[in-house]
Amino acid sequence: MGASDPEVAPCARGGAAGMAGAGAGAGARGGAAAGVEARARDPPPAHRAHPRHPRPAAQPSARRMDGASGGLGSGDNAPTTEALFVALGAGVTALSHPLLYVKLLIQVGHEPMPPTVGTNVLGRKVLYLPSFFTYAKYIVQVDGKIGLFRGLSPRLMSNALSTVTRGSMKKVFPPDEIEQVSNKDDMKTSLKKVVKETSYEMMMQCVSRMLAHPLHVISMRCMVQFVGREAKYSGVLSSIGKIFKEEGLLGFFVGLIPHLLGDVVFLWGCNLLAHFINAYLVDDSVSDTPGGLGNDQNPGSQFSQALAIRSYTKFVMGIAVSMLTYPFLLVGDLMAVNNCGLQAGLPPYSPVFKSWIHCWKYLSVQV
The string of DSSP letters for 254-307 reads: TTHHHHHHHHHHHHHHHHHHHHHIIIIIS-TT---STT---TTTSTTTHHHHHH
β partners of residue 128 = 3, 116
Give the count of beta carbons closer than 10 Å to the beta carbon of residue 363: 19
Does residue 15 carry a pLDDT above 90? no
Candidate ranges 25-29, 122-126, 351-355; pick with highest mean pLDDT: 351-355
Does residue 288 carry a pLDDT above 50? no
Please enumerate in sequence order all residues whose Cβ is within 8 A of that of 194, keeping only pairs 6 or more positions apart, or say none: 36, 37, 40, 181, 271, 272, 275
- Counting residues of the chain whose pLDDT is more than 70, the rounded percentage is 68
Q: What is the largest CA-CA distance in the chain?
A: 74
Q: How far is CA 231 from CA 77, 141, 350, in A?
A: 42, 18, 20
Q: Which of 363, 310, 311 is nearest to 333 (CA)?
A: 363
β partners of residue 50 = 53
Q: In what order do the strands lie in the sheet with 116-119?
A: 3-4, 125-128, 116-119
DSSP state of 147: G
Q: Backbone phi, then psi, for 355, in 5-degree steps?
A: -160, 175
148-286+304-364 has CATH 1.10.760.10 classification: no
Q: What is the mean pLDDT of residues 316-333?
A: 92
Does residue 157 carry a pLDDT above 80? yes
Among 110-124, 133-147, 167-181, the least confident range = 167-181
Confidence of residue 315 (pLDDT cuts 50, 70, 90): confident
Q: Tell me the average pLDDT of the chain.
A: 77
Spatial separation of the C-alpha atoms in residues 151 and 144, rounded to whole Å = 14
Confidence of residue 192 (pLDDT cuts 50, 70, 90): confident
Q: How far is CA 61 from CA 65, 166, 328, in A?
A: 7, 16, 30
Q: Which of 82, 80, 2, 15 is nearest to 331 (CA)?
A: 15
Q: Which of 316, 365, 362, 363 is nearest to 30 (CA)?
A: 316
Give the count of beta carbons closer than 10 Å to the beta carbon of residue 316: 14
Q: Backbone phi, then psi, for 180, in 5-degree steps?
A: -80, 150
pLDDT of residue 172: 86
Q: How far is CA 53 from CA 97, 289, 298, 300, 302, in A?
A: 43, 11, 10, 7, 10
β partners of residue 117 = 127
Confidence of residue 20 (pLDDT cuts 50, 70, 90): very low
pLDDT of residue 76: 53
Spatial separation of the C-alpha atoms in residues 361 and 331, rounded to whole Å = 10
Does residue 42 carry a pLDDT above 60? no
pLDDT of residue 143: 93
Among 16-30, 56-70, 297-311, the least confident range = 56-70
Task: Between 121 and 310, name the one with better pLDDT.
Answer: 121
Among 126-135, 230-239, 242-251, 273-282, the least confident range = 273-282
pLDDT of residue 182: 53
DSSP, collapsed to helix, strand or coil, labels residue 347 as coil
